[in-house]
Structure 1
Amino acid sequence: MSDHEENPVTNGLVALATVAIVVGILGGLGAVVATKVVGLGDASEAAADSTGQGGASLIMPDPVPTEAESGPLVTLAPSQNETFTTSPDASDDASDEPSQNEKPAKNKKEITLSQGAFEVAPGEKLYLSGIYPGGEGSVLDVEYRIDGGAWTGFPVDVSVSNETFSTYVETYKTGSIEWRVVDKATKKVSNSVKVRHG
């Protein structure tokens, strides 16, 4: 009995490896021929010749120094109570000074609150975040009211850092619940946000 007949598994593996190598070589040659026929290689070579470079390149711009942001890095949507109007007579070259009919804008440092969702299931976390200009280090109390009832304290406090704050609340109460935050030290109250629970 010969060696070839004694190891049929080894013989089969050698035959498979040989077929795989031959198929790989033929496939590679076919791909090279196909790119030449279609002209894919010519376009990249022509681009390299026209630019005088030996191949594709990546051009990086020179670094430019940037300025650090001075304000809070959170952007919130305007509350439902805020409206923005423009005068049809306003022009682009109007002066910055208010006219006699305009009241100067108050520079209020208000607390702005936003909610992470408009509807949550009972017991699901609701994320609350906001901006409190000038409120660095303040501790805000979270309050809620259900279906227009009285405001009630929620057992969560949130600290202001970099003039921003964020926390989450979860309750199994259902209905239309409004949320707000209060700075009891300065008596400032945020806008309220309404969320459907349940």
Structure 2
Amino acid sequence: MSEQLPERPDERHPIVTGLVALVAVGVAVGLIIGLVTFAGTQVLGLGGGDDSGTGSSERSMYLPRPEKTPQATGPEIILAPGESSSPAGESSSSKPTKTKSPRKQISLSASVTSAGPMQTFDLTGVYPGGEGAILQVQRFTAGSWQDFPVTASVSNETFQTSVATSYAGPNRFRVVDTDTGLASNEVRVTIG
């Protein structure tokens, strides 16, 4: 009789043993690559989210207020000493006549005369010569005009903004140019 030797467990399933070894090597290599990547990002400062350094969380963009640019009235003429700019035959002693420039005025209107609490309504208007101006909405409260947390910008000499308030009763609104202080007419909207 031939004596049969007992099989070792690793000889029964060589494929399973190979797969287990392959997975173990893959996990080990993955961990090593992950640790090297993590260490590299820390050294290079590529880690995100930590604002405890010297960086500031304040806004870094500075946007200056819009300013009007002077409009040219024509080509600049430089005269030699003794030359006159008046056409021949005209007296150079005639004084130019002053023309009164039209006064800038902001015209404001509301889309409704009454609204429910926190119902949105529009404030629209015209501001001739106010291109690019920022207008602060104000409400008359406790005997004086108070800034309302809404602004509008002027484009093509017109503006529009939406307003909602829960302050019941008659409300008086106006807009004020933040640069010049010029105020519009007031509009009344009853809330409630």
**Greater C-alpha Rg:** 2
What range is the shorter-chain TM-score in? 0.3 to 0.5
- What is the TM-score of this pair, normalised by structure 1? 0.45
- What is the TM-score of this pair, normalised by structure 2? 0.46
